[in-house]
Amino acid sequence: MKIFPAIDIKDEKCVRLLKGDFNNQTIYEKSPFDQALKYKDAGLLNLHIVDLDGALSGELINLKIINNIIKKLNIPIEVGGGIRSMDKIQAYIDVGVDKVILGSAAIKNPNFLQQACEKFEGKIALGLDAKKGKLSVSGWKETINQTPEDYLKNVNSYGFSRVIYTDIDRDGTKTEPNIDETVNIAKISSVPVVVSGGISSIEDIKKIQTLNKFNIEGVIVGKAIYDGDINLHELKELENA
């Protein structure tokens, strides 16, 4: 199973939001680079980065920081946040990003998702963020009257290589992931699914490990690492299991 330790960047710092609320954030001491180095030193093989400034502005605010992490640490990175044009996808591909996550732009304009998948084959991940069962976009400030399942059914053949499902109401809460809903998504998805939101302990991850029969390939872990609830070496052992 793939483990994606998370780095959310805002104002050049590592932060964690509670339930996607920009007014309820925790700022951590380590810089994004130092946090990435910590993950690398622990032997973790993947990294999940969200440019929160980009999610709000639609611009690649933290491209230089992400570029520096890739150049110096040589670790596969998936990146999301404010990626709303082909040029922005290309900018991330050019610096060596492994997967570019499309969320708001893909949901608002499925044709953009399809074109991106065709142009950047194997490089696009689809981010489905939901609140109370409905899709959420634009930095989680706007809710769309559509379920993730219905949206996914319509775009399932477009050619993205991964789906990341986040239950925003659990994100940053450490109240357990929404496994039932993630399994529902995985049963529909034509590609592997990653669990995000609410991870509180190693036991949560062990539970997710048992779901590989449902096409669930990995898990994103954020606040539980920062708060010391999950040990990085334990994570590494699970990734190797």
Q: How many residues are recorded in the chain?
A: 241
152-195: pLDDT as tens digits: 999 999 999 999 999 888 776 667 888 999 999 999 999 999 99
215-237 confidence digits (pLDDT tens): 999 999 998 999 899 999 999 99
Superfamily (CATH H level) for 2-240 = Aldolase class I (3.20.20.70)
For the entire predicted model, the pTM comes to 0.93
Domain residue extents for the chain: 2-240
Q: DSSP states of 151-217 as a string? A: HHHHHTTS--SEEEEEETTTTTT-S---HHHHHHHHHH-SS-EEEES---SHHHHHHHHTTGGGTEE
Query: Helix 63-73 to helix 86-94 angle, to the nearest 10 degrees?
Result: 30
Catalytic residues: 8, 129
Distance CA 226, CA 68 (A): 21
